[in-house]
Chains A and B, each alone.
Chain A
Amino acid sequence: MSGWHTDTLTQLAAGLRARKFSSVELVRALLARIDASQATLNAFISVTREQALSDAAAADRALAAGSAGALTGVPIAHKDIFCTQGVRTTCGSRMLDNFVSPYDATVVARLKAAGAVMLGKTNMDEFAMGSSSETSFYGPVRNPWNPQLVPGGSSGGSAAAVAARLVPGATATDTGGSIRQPAALCGITGIKPTYGRVSRYGMIAFASSLDQGGVLTATAADAALVLREMAGFDANDSTSVDTPVPDYVAALEQPLAGLKVGLLREFFDQGLDAHNEQRVREALKVYEQLGARLTEVSLPNLPLSVPAYYVVAPAECSSNLARFDGVRFGYRCEKPRDLRDLYSRSRGEGFGAEVKRRIMTGTYVLSAGYYDAYYLKAQRVRQLINADFTRAFASVDVLMGPTTPTPAFAIGAKTSDPITMYLNDIYTIGANLAGLPAVSIPCGFVQGLPVGLQIVGPHFSEARVLSAAHAFQRVTDWHTRVPQGYA
Chain B
Amino acid sequence: MYDFALVFSLRHARREPPMALTREQIASIATLARLDLTSSEVPVYQDSLSRILDFVGALDRAQTTDVAPMSHPLAGLSQRLRPDVVSEQDRHEQYQANAPQVAAGLYLVPKVIE
Residues of chain A having any CB pair with chain B under 8 Å: 98-100, 102, 195-196, 208-209, 235, 238-239, 241, 265-266, 269-271, 298, 300-301, 303-304, 306-308, 310-311, 318, 322, 325-330, 332, 336-345, 347-349, 351, 353, 356-357, 359-361, 363-365, 367, 374, 376-384, 386, 417-419, 422-423, 433-436, 459
Closest to A98 in B: B98
Query: 18 additional contacts, CB 8 Å, given A100-B98, A303-B3?
Result: A209-B71, A209-B72, A300-B2, A303-B10, A307-B10, A307-B56, A308-B59, A310-B52, A318-B33, A327-B100, A328-B99, A339-B112, A343-B34, A351-B35, A356-B37, A381-B64, A383-B67, A419-B55
Contact yes or no, A359 B64, CB < 8 A: no
Q: Which residues of A contact B96 (CB under 8 A)?
A: 328
Residues of B within 8 A of A (CB-CB), count: 65
Contact yes or no, A241 B58, CB < 8 A: no
* Cα–Cα, bound, A383→B69 (Å): 6
List B residues 55-79 near A (Cβ within 8 Å): 55-62, 64, 67-74, 77, 79
16 A-B contact pairs sorted by A residue (CB < 8 Å): A100-B97, A102-B97, A241-B77, A303-B7, A307-B55, A307-B56, A307-B59, A318-B33, A344-B31, A349-B36, A357-B48, A360-B33, A364-B53, A374-B59, A383-B69, A434-B73
Tell me which of B29, B34, B91 contacts A364 (CB under 8 A).
Answer: B29
Tell me which of B36, B61, B80, B98 contacts A328 (CB under 8 A).
Answer: B98
* Cα–Cα, bound, A367→B32 (Å): 9
Q: Which residues of A contact B37 (CB under 8 A)?
A: 348, 356
Q: Which residues of A contact B98 (CB under 8 A)?
A: 98-100, 102, 328-330
Question: In the complex, what's the smallest C-beta–C-beta distance from B57 to chain A, in angstroms?
Answer: 8
* Cα–Cα, bound, A91→B109 (Å): 25
- Knowing A239-B77, A327-B109, A348-B37, say if A357 contacts B70 (CB, 8 Å): no
* Cα–Cα, bound, A307→B31 (Å): 25
Contact yes or no, B107 A327, CB < 8 A: yes
Residues of chain B having any CB pair with chain A under 8 Å: 1-4, 6-8, 10-11, 13-14, 26, 29-38, 41, 44-45, 48-49, 51-53, 55-62, 64, 67-74, 77, 79-80, 82, 91, 94-101, 107, 109-112
Contact yes or no, B10 A423, CB < 8 A: yes
Contact yes or no, B58 A357, CB < 8 A: no
- Knowing A342-B110, A364-B29, A418-B48, say if A386 contacts B2 (CB, 8 Å): no
Q: Which residues of B contact A356 (CB under 8 A)?
A: 35, 37, 41, 45
Contact yes or no, B64 A270, CB < 8 A: no
